[in-house]
Amino acid sequence: MTSQVLNASTSQLFQPSPLVEVRASGVHGRGVYATQPIAKGTRIIEYTGTRILWEDVPENLDDPRTFLFGLDNGKDVIDPEIGGNESRWINHSCDPNCEAIEEDDERIFIDALRDLQPGEELFYDYQLEVDEPITSEVKEESRCCCGASNCRGTMLETK
């Protein structure tokens, strides 16, 4: 297995962010909330964890598509189980207030898409991609409950 803990010793963003906290979400389970005003464009937190190959992901892992962050190279994922931070609890919305940006082919950052108020839950669009037929089971597993007026009903990428 190839693995590498990302930015564990050097990155400030690996530390707990004073900008956010984790608590129960109205959308699903736990979510991440702004603790103070956050201006549009702010780099809020890094999605840290251990970089591993998709092919090394255990097949029986729960929710592998949503807890593991797939990198653009299509081969690697960031697993927040080791070295992860609050970002692992950010929920999906079809009308997100944050976006996930990949930099240097290996690091993922969560940036504010608009001004956020204290107490607002953070969301980004998971845009999940699957390399299997989109069966009703896959659709059900990926059903979206974000409640946005433009909710597409799924956390899958549909474009």
Ligand X SMILES: C[S@@+](CC[C@H](N)C(=O)[O-])C[C@H]1O[C@@H](n2cnc3c(N)ncnc32)[C@H](O)[C@@H]1O
Please count the other Cβ atoms lying within 10 Å of the Cβ belonging to residue 42.
16
Q: Residue for token digits 């990198």? A: 71
Q: Which residues pair with 156 in a beta bridge?
A: 128
Selected from 99, 151, 157, 158, the binder of Zn ion by CB under 5 A is: 151
Handedness of CA 88, 91, 93, 98 (dihedral sign): negative
Selected from 18, 26, 29, 58, the binder of ligand X by CB under 6 A is: 29
- Is 52 exposed, middle or buried (CB count within 10 Å of its CB: 0-12, 13-18, 19+)? buried
The residue count for binding ligand X (CB under 6 A) is 17
* Binding string, residues 74-93; x marks residues near ligand X by CB under 6 A: --------------xx-xxx
Q: Which does 25 bind (CB under 5 to 8 A by kind): Zn ion, ligand X, none?
A: ligand X
Selected from 68, 94, 116, 156, the binder of Zn ion by CB under 5 A is: 94
Selected from 3, 4, 66, 127, the binder of ligand X by CB under 6 A is: 66
Q: Strand, coil or helix: what is 92?
A: strand
Q: Which does 89 bind (CB under 5 to 8 A by kind): ligand X, Zn ion, none?
A: ligand X
Q: Residue for token digits 């097949």? A: 59
25 lines the binding site for ligand X (CB under 6 A) = yes
Q: Which does 30 bind (CB under 5 to 8 A by kind): ligand X, Zn ion, none?
A: ligand X
Q: Whole-angstrom Cα distance, residue 156 to residue 159? A: 9
Q: Which residues pair with 51 in a beta bridge?
A: 4, 78
Selected from 37, 145, 157, 158, the binder of ligand X by CB under 6 A is: 145
What is the contact surface with Zn ion in residues (CB under 5 A)? 94, 144, 146, 151
